[in-house]
Amino acid sequence: MPKDMTARERARAVFRYEQPDRPCFDIMEGTVWDSIGYYFRQAHGMHTQSDVLDFLDCDFRWSHMFAGEHLLPQTQADVHGLGGANYSDSQGGYLLAEAETVADIDRLFNPDPYARPLPDFKAMREKYPDKALVFCVVWTPFFSGACSLFGMERAMMTMLAEPELYHAFAIKQNEYLCEYVRRAIKAGAAEYCDFFWSGDDFAAESGLLLSPAHWRQLIKPYLKDAYAIAKGAGMHTLFHSCGAVSEVYPDFIEMGIDAHIGVQTSSKGMDVERLARDFGGKIVIFGGVDAQTTLVQCDPAGVEAEVRRNMAAFANCGGYIVSNSHHGLPDIAGENIYAMARAAGRVCV
């Protein structure tokens, strides 16, 4: 057995496809959403999101969490449902819904990579000297980003019928993302962080929302650029994507993506045994405790059984991190998140 490892050493071992001293564990992307936070306040006396991550002994800390400490809800009335919003114009519509020309895109969509503040990466490392640190860029996807700006129907029609408009958007999105990554590296992201995170959602539970050929033509050329910058600076790379995406796992690997995060095992072709058989030792599986089935349908014993199944699938090839496949779902019982951590050997009974 390996010697006792720090969280940082444990995470790095997983990315070398070595077996760590104990399972590597995290709440997906460090997110303690309201309903889970309320559970941990009531059941375990936690007060902040950091308290929960410390209590569960998560191996990772995420730069988006470092912007400020957040108190957990104190009453049921403080627990809100899912949030989120689209890019929108002043009337609340889709910013590019009426764009008809490339000139319209140029006029309407001008994200500024210098307007977004950067985390204090040195302070993060000083606060968490032994944790695996993740630099999270702002959410800058190319497929779901186009859907947020054009509206989903218009975006998908534009990709196929008016590709010059889609590419006008994607070029600007890519320039914004890449320049933000370069800024972050100059500010210490690669010096103090171990991992780079970005993502895009372009799949449903049964497959991609566009053909693999169109994905490779429209999404892949832009997606790879920021990852090349991060890899070149020495960071391991994490890619967030929901749904059935194993069809393009070979592309992920070719692009230098080290881990897929948000692995939704209830989706087509995403069961852990198949992923371990076909991709074990080639890409790290970060997640796999399914939020649409296991975490909402099972009791804690069922959750623990699922965690053990996932770990067993990767026992011979390495490259697995125990984590939930999604966050923010209010119907996930807090007891099941606790059970997930317990099955990974992370909390006292």
89 in a structural domain: no
At 291, is the secondary structure helix, strand, or coil?
coil
Mean pLDDT, the chain, whole residue set: 93
In a domain, 268, yes or no: yes
- Supply the pLDDT for residue 1: 57
CATH of the domain at 322: 3.20.20.210
Does residue 214 lie in a domain region? yes
Share of the chain above pLDDT 90, in %: 88
| Burial class of residue 191 (count of CB atoms within 10 Å of its CB; 0-12, 13-18, 19+) | middle
Residue ranges making up the domain that contains 322: 7-75+95-343
Q: Report the pLDDT value the prediction gives residue 349, as an integer from 0 to 100.
A: 47
pTM above 0.85, yes or no: yes
Residue 2 resides in a domain: no
- Give domain status of residue 348, yes or no: no
Portion of the chain with pLDDT greater than 70, in percent: 95
Q: Do residues 150 and 100 lie in contact, with contact meaning Cβ atoms separated by under 8 Å? A: no
Contact predicate 285/241, CB 8 Å: no
The pLDDT of residue 296 is above 90: yes
CB 251 within 8 A of CB 283: no
pLDDT band at 316 (very low <50, low <70, confident <90, very high): very high
Is residue 160, in this structure, part of any structural domain at all? yes
What does the angle CA 340 – CA 318 – CA 199 come to, to the nearest 5 degrees?
70
Average pLDDT value for residue range 312-320: 97
Domains in the chain: how many in total?
A: 1
> Is residue 65 over pLDDT 80?
no
Give the model's pLDDT for residue 328: 84
Task: Tell me whether residue 51 is in a domain.
Answer: yes
- 287: number of Cβ within 10 Å: 28
pLDDT of res. 2: 72
Place of tokens 């008016």: 162
Asked, for residue 262, whether it belongs to a domain, the answer is yes
Q: What is the pLDDT of residue 89?
A: 46
